[in-house]
Structure 1
Amino acid sequence: MLLDGRNAIIYGGGGSIGGAIARAYAAQGARVFLAGRTRATLAAVAGPIGAEIAEVDALDADAVDAHADAVAATAGGIDISVNLIADHDVQGTAMVDMPLDDYLSPVVTSVRSKFLTARAAARHMMPRGSGVILTFGGSGDPTAARRYRLGGLLTGFEAIEAMRRQLAAELGPHGIRVVTLRTGGVPEAIPVAFAGRAAIEADLTARTLLGRTATLEDVGHVAVFAASDWARTITGAALNMTCGAVVD
C-alpha cells in the first residue's frame, strides 16, 4: 500500500473533502488523525476507518502545537499534514459593497491556520528528513469571481500559493515536500440542500475540457499520490485535477 506506516493529520477532517482524503489514506495503510472543532462530524468520518480524532481549533497556535506534539509522541512522528478547514468566506456581495472584515475573513483565516499547521508539522518532520504538507485550493479563476462574487476567497487562495512556494523552498533541504491540490470545484462537496447547487455544478462542468468535474473519490486518489513516494519528485507545485478547467 502506498502509505503503509505513514502518520497523517487532516485538519478539517470532518468535512466532505477531508473525509474523502481520510478514507483514501486509511485504505492505503496510513494511520489517520482527524482534527477539527466538531467532534460529531469527526467521529462520523473516523468510525468506519478507525481514525483517531481530536477537537482542535486550527486558528489557535497553542492548540495546534500541542496536538502535533501529541500525535508525534503517540505515533512516532508526523509524515503527512493536510489542512482543509473552512475558509470563513463571505460570498454574494460585490467587492465595492463588501465590509472590510468580510473581505479579509477568508484571507486571515486561511493564512493563519495553514501557517500554524504547516509550522507544527514541519518542526516534527525536519529532524526525520522527510514529510509532505498539502494545501488545497490553488489559484482561482477571476471570471468565477465575477460570476459568483467570491469576496476575499481568491485572495486567500493566492496567499496560500505564495506560502506554499516559500515553504517548499525552505523545507526542501530537509526532505519535506509542499504541494497544492487544485480541483476547480467539487460539486459533491456542495450541500444537497443548497438552492443553487445544480446551477453551480452545471457551470463548473461546462468549463472543463473533459465534460466532468473531479469527484470526492478523485480528490482522495490524488491526495494519496501526492503524499506517497510515487510523487517524491514533486514539490513547490500545484497538482491540477480541474479536468481542464484550468490549462497549465
Structure 2
Amino acid sequence: MLLDGKVAVIYGGGGKVGGAVAGAFAREGARVHLAGRTAATLDAVAARIRAAGGAAETAVLDALDEAAVDAHADAVAAAEGSLDISFNLVEPGVVQGTPLAGMSLADFEGGIHRALRTLFLTSRAAARHMVPRGSGVILVFGGHGPPTAGVGGLQVALQAQETLAQALAAELGPHGVRTVTLQTGGIPESIPADLPIRDEVTAAIEGATLLGRAATLADVGDVAAFVASDRARTITGSAVNITCGATAG
C-alpha cells in the first residue's frame, strides 16, 4: 500500500473532497485524522472508512483557531508517534457571482483571509513535527487556472495559497519535507446540489477541458494518495495538474 504506516491529518475532512481524500488515504494504509467544525459530517466519513477496514479518528476543530490547530497537531503526533501528511481542505467561503467593481471589501477579502490563515496555521503546525523527523508532505488544494470573471477573490486566494506553498517548499525542502499543490479545474461532484446554476457550472468546467470531462472526487483522492506517498518523493514546490487539460502546459 502506498501510505502504509503513515499518519495523515485532513482539515475539512467532513466535506466531499476531504472525505474522498480521507477514504483514499485510508485504503492505502494511512491512519487518518479528520478535523473540521461539524461533528456529524466528520463522524459519517470516519464510519465509512472504518466499515471498509480503515483507521480514522475525528476532532471538532476550527482551522482558523491558532491555539486549537497547534494543540491538535501536537496531540496527533504524541499519540501516533509522527505526523506525516497534512492536507488543508477547509472551504474558504469565497463570495462569488458579484463583479469585483460591485463587491464589498468584506466579501472580497474574507475568503482570501480564511484561505491563507488556515493554510498557514495547519502547515506550520505540521512542519514543526515533520522537520525534526526529516520527512513529511504538506498538500495544497485547488491551484489557480486562467483568469475567470465572477469568482470574487477566489483566484486571488488560490494564487496566494500557491505562493505560500512554494515558500514552504523552499524552506522545508532541506529538511526533507515536500509541499505540493493539486491543481484542479473544478470538481462537479463537489458543487452543492441546490445551486441554481449547478448544471451551467458543470458544463463550463467540462467544456474547458481537453478530455471533455472533469476530475472526479475519486480522481482527486487517488492522485493525492500518490503525491503523498514516497513514490512521488521527487515532487515538491510545484503543482500536479489534474484539470483534464483545462490548464495545459
- TM, length-normalised to structure 1: 0.97
Q: Is 1:31 matched up with 2:36?
A: no
Question: Does residue 117 of structure 2 align to residue 103 of structure 1?
Answer: no
- Cα deviation for residue 19 of structure 1 reads 0.3
Q: How far does residue 88 in structure 1 lie from its aligned partner after superposition?
A: 1.5
Hey, what's the Cα distance between the residues in 1 that align with 2:218 and 2:159?
Answer: 25
In the TM superposition, what is the alpha-carbon distance from 1:130 to its structure 2 partner? Answer: 0.2
Answer yes or no: is 1:186 the counterpart of 2:191: no
Is 1:115 paired with 2:116? no
1:53 maps to 58
SS in 2 for 1:110: helix
Where 2:87 maps in the other structure, the secondary structure is strand
Q: Tell me the SS of whatever aligns to 1:4.
A: coil
The match for 2:53 is none
Q: Deviations over 1:120-171 (max 9, x none)?
A: 00000011000000000112321xx22xx11111100010111011000000
Please give the secondary structure, in 2, of the residue aligned with 1:54.
strand
Aligned equivalents of 1:210 and 1:16: distance in 2? 23
8 Å CA contact 2:86–2:139 kept in 1: the answer is: yes
Q: Does 1:201 align with 2:206?
A: no
Equivalent residue number for residue 89 of structure 2: 84
Give 3-state SS (helix, strand or coil) of 1:139's partner: coil
1:14 is matched with 14
List structure 1 segments (4+ residues) > 2 angstroms apart after TM superposition: none
For 1:161 and 1:204, the matched residues in 2 are separated by 21
2:59 is paired with a residue whose SS is: strand
> 2-side partners of 1:65 and 1:44: how far apart?
25
Cα deviation for residue 193 of structure 1 reads: 2.3
Q: Distance in 1 between matches of 2:91 and 2:145?
A: 16
Counterpart position of 2:211: 210
Q: CA offsets, 1:183-237, max 9 Å, x none?
A: 1000011122222111111111111001110000000000001100110000001
Q: 2:145·2:247 contact (CA, 8 Å) conserved in 1?
A: no
Q: RMSD across aligned C-alpha pairs, in angstroms?
A: 0.7
SS of corresponding position for 1:181: strand
Q: CA deviation at 1:68?
A: 0.1
Aligned AA (1:195): P
Structure 1 counterpart of 2:158:
157
- Residue of structure 1 aligned with 2:132, choices 127, 143, 156: 127
Separation of aligned partners in 1, 2:163 and 2:91? 19
Q: Give matches, 1:218-233, under 5 Å.
A: 218-233=219-234
Contact 1:140 1:157 in 2 (8 A): no
Give CA deviations for 1:74-105 in whole Å, capped at 9, x if unaligned. 11110000000011200111111101011001
Identity among equivalent positions (%) equals 59
Q: Distance in 2 between matches of 1:175 and 1:61?
A: 25
Contact 1:103 1:152 in 2 (8 A): yes
Output the CA distance in 1 between the equivalents of 2:145 and 2:119. 17
* Alignment gaps of 5+ in structure 1: none
Tell me which amino acid in the other structure corresponds to 1:11: Y
Distance in 1, matches of 2:129 and 2:135, equals 9
| Post-superposition offset of 1:31 | 0.1
Paired AA for residue 34 in structure 1? L
Distance 1:91 1:211 in 2: 25
Query: What is the one-letter code of the residue matched to 2:195?
Result: F
State TM-score, norm by structure 2: 0.97
- Extract unaligned runs of 5+ from structure 2: 51-55
In the alignment, the residues of structure 2 paired with residue 214 and residue 48 of structure 1 have an alpha-carbon distance, to the nearest angstrom, of 22
